[in-house]
């Protein structure tokens, strides 16, 4: 079992793994219109991934940490740096990276795609398909935990 983490504003915490943010705005690994939940294998990485995108002088006061427990039996695919385009850490991200996440969601072969973090390549981010049967039936498989103040 692996617990993964997300940092988000309290007002979005009720459905913390629904992929609404990526659906609206996209991200490094997804295009707008693709529902995908970004998470990190460590709380510290989740914090780093969140805080790199905000003004450090004025952080939100209502941040929460949301977790999900993912049993080892949940289907997953792991991509390593050598599996990715050579520019995978560039800013802004190449559209080829969003195509990887979009394809992962569209194919629905696995529930989780594990990728290296562009910030800390030795650690992983976990992309979760909230539409995959192993997520939808979360009482049997992926268990979303109640958010807690950060």
Residues in the chain with pLDDT values less than 50: none
pLDDT, position 58: 86
Domain 2-149's class? alpha beta
Instruction: Kindly list the domain boundaries of the chain, sorted by start residue.
Output: 2-149
Q: How far apart are CA 58 and CA 71, in angstroms?
A: 37
pLDDT tens digit string along 106-150?
A: 999 999 999 999 999 999 999 999 989 888 665 557 888 889 998
Q: How far apart are CA 77 and CA 28, in angstroms?
A: 18
pLDDT, position 140: 57
């Amino acid at each position: 079992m692996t617990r993964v983490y997300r940092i988000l504003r309290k007002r979005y915490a009720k459905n913390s793994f629904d992929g609404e943010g990526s659906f609206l705005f996209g991200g490094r690994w997804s295009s707008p219109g693709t529902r995908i939940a970004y998470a990190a294998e460590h709380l510290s990485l989740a914090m780093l991934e969140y805080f790199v995108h905000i003004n450090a002088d004025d952080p939100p006061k209502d941040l929460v940490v949301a977790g999900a427990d993912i049993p080892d039996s949940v289907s997953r695919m792991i991509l390593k740096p050598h599996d990715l385009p050579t520019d995978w850490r560039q800013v802004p991200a190449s559209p080829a990276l969003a195509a990887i996440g979009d394809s992962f969601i569209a194919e629905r072969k696995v529930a989780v795609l594990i990728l290296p973090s562009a910030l800390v390549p030795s650690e992983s981010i976990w992309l979760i398909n909230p539409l995959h049967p192993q997520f939808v039936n979360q009482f049997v498989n992926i268990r979303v935990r109640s958010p807690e103040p950060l």
